[in-house]
Structure 1
């Protein structure tokens, strides 16, 4: 159900259940969590791209599983829904979205750090249409990524937002042609991979921890992150490569 392929320092994680529109069942949830565990535990993997096989990124929760009384299996103890929406992690994840990502599919996307989407992509939380609540992060993360009124419109109507409008408002980082989301996401991953991995990790961590905090907290977290880098090999390599006018050779340590 979940395929993992490592390309350079990037892990490609693919939800491979196209016959069910990549809907999340217990196998998908545990598979995504295991893939993130692998990424987080491997010093040679610096970033990951999360994609869906087939014409749909993810249709959300598998309703057949829910109807069978297996709703609890769609969550993991550490990752929550789909093994990712509440998972603590240090390395960036890029969502590569070709086609619709609705309900829990949108909530998976919102749990990622960056989003690449094709023009046919759509995002939305239609739960209110079925007397449900989007309980996997959509209700508060949409308002973090979109203007408050736009997020409220999506939540209360249950109607989706098209990729171009989502890109306009900043939910989508890169908009691309249909069928090219994965390649475009891998290109974005390559741009990040060219940077010092520990510095990327620390910078992302500060951004997450300081969200909504005051300036004093932000400065403190930034200083602590900088201090953790000072004694690393990469900290010495960056200035040295600049002086020697060559590309740096990052070790991730």
Structure 2
């Protein structure tokens, strides 16, 4: 049986009245708040969650009363741990929709800003979501990593390209090839995040403060600025490079090493690589 589809934004649903299974949405005036609500799975994403995120971010772009969005994770431990490797290991529905991982990583035509409130671990696809956002604020205990190579995969949601583009090739290659975890101080130094939440503040508090500052500006001027920066990203080759990601990722998924790496992660053991 096919997996159920999330309702589409063009169906004119009220996202604030709709009961989603894997996310929560709220609004604070013109500020749109999206929470990945899978704390029991470390806010990891799989097909149904991706489709819900497609719906709400489509709605955000199409609603003129919403000016700024914030994305965060449920709880205070994990922003998003990336792809749901248990679902991957079981052959489940893991594929994102047309706008990529988290419905953001391939969404190049955005006209409104999105802030990531990194409230804990941002690993793999979770870090890719943050890299795809326009601004990032993080809790002091947040951690970051692109660990895909240790499970036989790679950061195909744009992590390889965006991290290199945002912090430089040498620094990015070290983090990508070693899957080194780094803290908020290093993330701030590298430019992965804009700021660290102050003492007594949560990442969401800090993101709301930043979003409120943005709403003091003309929403059309903000949109124009974002569109120009998006054009710069397109001309820099990021958009042109993206089509190669998915075929390469699918090819990698069929290798013995990818299957072994995911299985080893789920079984909590060291992988046995065969380079096949």
Q: With the length of structure 2 as denominator, give the TM-score of the two structures.
A: 0.73
* Equivalent pair of 1:47/1:92 in contact (CA under 8 Å): yes
Aligned 1:175-190 pairs, distance under 5 A? 175-177=196-198, 180-190=202-212
Counterpart in the other structure of 1:16 = 37
> In the alignment, does 2:208 pair up with 1:197?
no
Counterpart in the other structure of 2:46 = 25
How big is each residue's C-alpha offset from its partner over 1:11-37, in whole Å with a ceiling of 9 and x where there is no partner?
000001111110102221111111101
Structure 2 residue ranges without an equivalent (≥5): 1-21, 237-276
C-alpha deviation, 1:201, in angstroms? 0.4
Distance 1:207 1:89 in 2: 11
Aligned 1:155-166 pairs, distance under 5 A? 155-166=176-187
Q: With the length of structure 1 as denominator, give the TM-score of the two structures.
A: 0.80
Counterpart in the other structure of 1:251 = none
Larger radius of gyration: 1
Aligned 1:124-135 pairs, distance under 5 A? 124-135=145-156
Distance 1:69 1:92 in 2: 35
Structure 1 residue ranges without an equivalent (≥5): 215-253
Distance 1:96 1:134 in 2: 21
Aligned 1:1-253 pairs, distance under 5 A? 1-54=22-75, 55-71=77-93, 73-76=94-97, 78-87=98-107, 88-177=109-198, 180-211=202-233, 213=235
Counterpart in the other structure of 2:266 = none
Give the SS at the match of 1:57.
Answer: strand
C-alpha deviation, 1:212, in angstroms? 7.6
Distance 1:85 1:147 in 2: 19
* Equivalent pair of 1:61/1:74 in contact (CA under 8 Å): no
C-alpha deviation, 1:83, in angstroms? 1.8
How big is each residue's C-alpha offset from its partner over 1:138-182, in whole Å with a ceiling of 9 and x where there is no partner?
111001221322111101101122111110121110112476100
Distance 2:154 2:174 in 1: 15
Give the SS at the match of 2:80.
Answer: coil
- Bigger Cα displacement from structure 2, 169-178 vs 39-48: 169-178
Aligned length in residues: 212
Distance 1:212 1:206 in 2: 10
Give the SS at the match of 2:188.
Answer: helix
C-alpha deviation, 1:74, in angstroms? 3.1
Distance 1:199 1:177 in 2: 29
Alignment RMSD, CA only? 1.6
